[in-house]
Amino acid sequence: MQTDATDLVEVSELHFSYGEQPIFRGLSLRIPRGKVVAILGGSGSGKSTLLKLIGGQLAPERGWIRVAGKLVHKLSTDELYALRRKMGMMFQSSGLFTDLTVYENLAFAIREHYDLPEELIRPLVLMKLDAVGLRGVRDMMPGDLSGGMTRRVALARAIVTDPLLVMYDEPFAGLDPISLNVIATLIRKLNDALGLTSIVVTYDVSESLKLVDYIYVIAEGKLMGEGTPDALLASEDPYLKQFLNALPDGPVRFHVPANPLAEELKITPSAV
């Protein structure tokens, strides 16, 4: 992987484990500025862990991650805090403050990072809510919103400070088809309109293929494939074909390796 000045995020030879459980074994990838990039992989492949490493919540055992030209795991606490001002995050569970109104959820992020008067905070919040079509719910509590609305508020909060990078952790999980399409469309439109760079971590293949500019597929701690949606769909790689087309047969087996069933049941094969 060659370093390019147009890359906002660079991951090189990344190694990371949870105790004795390896998660990444030399993963390398890069995220170009201004693009929407998907990180695809099955459950437990380390997709959410990768976002935590990019955000500096975790540190690699080997290798490095650079965001906006800075080595994340080498930054001091103050430097990391400053870098995070340039990042927005949409959590899988939305992560809204349940005791704050929709308006206050968005205003909180601005107040935390910037010393602005309330007369400037108000238009910033309202414009971001309007961008996701929810200016009319600004005084409601998160618990009074539908699942799709909650996710849209979380998206508005992720972009309220106009970050360079927005990370989406399973943004489509648990959504009905209409809400899912709305969120996907918003991610694309807001990325292009605001000049963002977006990383979408998901296992939703069909939606990602319609939404993103580039895709990385990870499994077993390494990169299994990369390319544009059309290039990956045309790939003859057995794993990519199985994963992208949800095929039951392929390198990923349905049955976990085990002794023969007859042996486990302690009966003869003829009796099975």
Q: What is the pLDDT of residues 203-250, one digit of tens each?
A: 888 888 889 999 999 988 899 999 999 999 899 888 888 888 877 777
Contacts of 156 (CB under 8 A, 6+ apart): 106, 128, 129, 131, 132, 134
Q: Which residue matches tokens 């001091």?
A: 76
What is the mean pLDDT of the segment spanning 148-174? 92
Please tell me the predicted confidence (pLDDT) of residue 204.
Answer: 83
Angle between helices 102-113 and 118-131 (to 10 degrees): 120
Domain boundaries, the chain: 1-86+165-172+199-272
As given in the structure block, the two tokens for residue 272 are: 């099975």
Where does the pLDDT of residue 178 fall: very low under 50, low under 70, confident under 90, or very high at 90 and above? confident
Residue 152 CB coordination number (10 Å): 25
Query: Residue 164's closest CA among 32, 46, 41, 72?
Result: 32
Which residues share a beta bridge with 165? 87, 197
Provide the residue count of the chain: 272
pLDDT number for residue 269: 55
Would you place residue 175 in the very low, low, confident or very high pLDDT band (cuts 50, 70, 90)? confident
Which residue would you say has higher pLDDT here, 65 or 245? 65
Q: CA 186 from chain center: how many Å?
A: 15
Q: Looking at domain 1-86+165-172+199-272, does it have CATH number 3.40.1440.10? A: no
Strands in 62-67's sheet, in edge-to-edge order, are 21-32, 7-18, 62-67, 70-71
Looking up tokens 């107040």 gives 111
**Strand 222-227 relative to strand 214-219, pairing:** antiparallel
For 125, the token pair is 């919040």
> What's the whole-number mean pLDDT along residues 89-118?
92
The answer to pTM > 0.75 is yes
Give residue 235's Cα distance to chain centre. Answer: 24
